[in-house]
Chain A
């Protein structure tokens, strides 16, 4: 069982918005603003999409945004496109210099 809880699946039609949640505790998500999100296409390495809750690396479309409230972080993908279909993983810095990942969410573009 992963330390951070994500829904196993999410879906939306092209052009719509989808939000994926990532729930932890005060010892990880709730205690630090160090949440990241990664996109992983089948057979590929993960790609950084969001870091420090809401910052986007250079080259990541602004359709991807992140936020946090309490012990739950969220990734929102707006204007869904076919190439957004992938697995998404959250991660968080945690107490005692640990790092936790979520269980992953499979995003399907209908």
Chain B
């Protein structure tokens, strides 16, 4: 059974870069798209972007200028970097696997990790 586990700092200062890692266990990164999704407290889900195991990416246009998603197949990990953060970036960040070869169906999710942007 594939499991995803997000990790990273729970507190980031404004204007700095948020960095998170998603570790994949029980399966392989190869052959799938992997995505990051976030959810501000009490609010809706927001798609951040995805990366294919080959390294190709696609990002939410509203975040594209600040986001980098990458994959490390040797470590079975996916990474997220979000630069120039503000309080509006405070959210639970989820990594998720995209089903089959789709780019829009998230079939496996991590438990999420809360990131607060504050000085």
Contact = CB atoms under 8 A, between A and B. Distances in A.
Nearest to B100: A51
A52 B105 contact: yes
A93 interface: yes
Contact of B99 (A51, A91, A100): A51
Contacts, number: 57
B64 to A, nearest CB: 10
Contacts of B109: 45-47
Contacts of B106: 36, 38, 46, 48
Nearest to B107: A48
A47 B106 CA distance: 8
A97 interface: yes
A82 interface: no
Contacts of A92: 104
Contact of A36 (B44, B61, B105, B110): B105
Contacts of B61: 96, 98
Interface in A35-59: 36, 38, 44-48, 51-52, 57
Contacts of B111: 44-45
Contacts of A89: 44-45
B61 to A, nearest CB: 6
B45 A46 contact: yes
Interface of B: 44-47, 58, 60-61, 94, 99, 102-107, 109-112
